Homo-oligomer: A and B are copies of this chain.
């Protein structure tokens, strides 16, 4: 029997790139076929439909997001330092000339009136991301405070993701972040939970 000529993971990554840039309705199958090098039959056999491919691309993107966050936090000297550097990374990423925000956010906004099945997916993924931040925060703050801070964090991240399209960035980004989320400021916070 014949063997697959393509790597599903690679194809998914290529699909993410296109969908992320151009959106669901803004992406044509032709673009996807060109980007992946697949023929219609192969693509449809593997992913069933444009929506099927999108759904898989989306959840793979979301998984990557959480992986990246956790890696950044574990690679930092403290949870708060990790979060700080994640926010700095977001500003940094926005400088790229092909910057295109967050795939999940774009999906949410584009499809909010359209496609329920994709949207429940997005909501779930955001909940996971928020819960992940919350879990990290709980190693530093009380559970109640952590819930609250995680909400703030998500809101600020959304803000950064969208605001970065416009205007130049603040002169001192670090200061800008800390003025909005002052609890990120000092690592003496590390002991607040116990103290």
Contact = CB atoms under 8 A, between A and B. Distances in A.
Interface stretch (A60-68, A109-117, A184-192): A109-117
- Secondary structure at the A interface, as helix, strand, loop or mixed, is helix
Nearest to A23: B110
Nearest to A179: B152
Interface residues of A, number: 42
Contacts of A159: 155-159, 162
| Identical copies in the complex | 2
B170 A151 contact: yes
A127 interface: yes
Interface string A104-144: 01101111111000000001001100100000000000000
Contact of A176 (B21, B151, B157, B167): B151
9 contacts: A23-B25, A105-B109, A105-B162, A123-B167, A148-B176, A151-B163, A152-B180, A155-B156, A156-B159
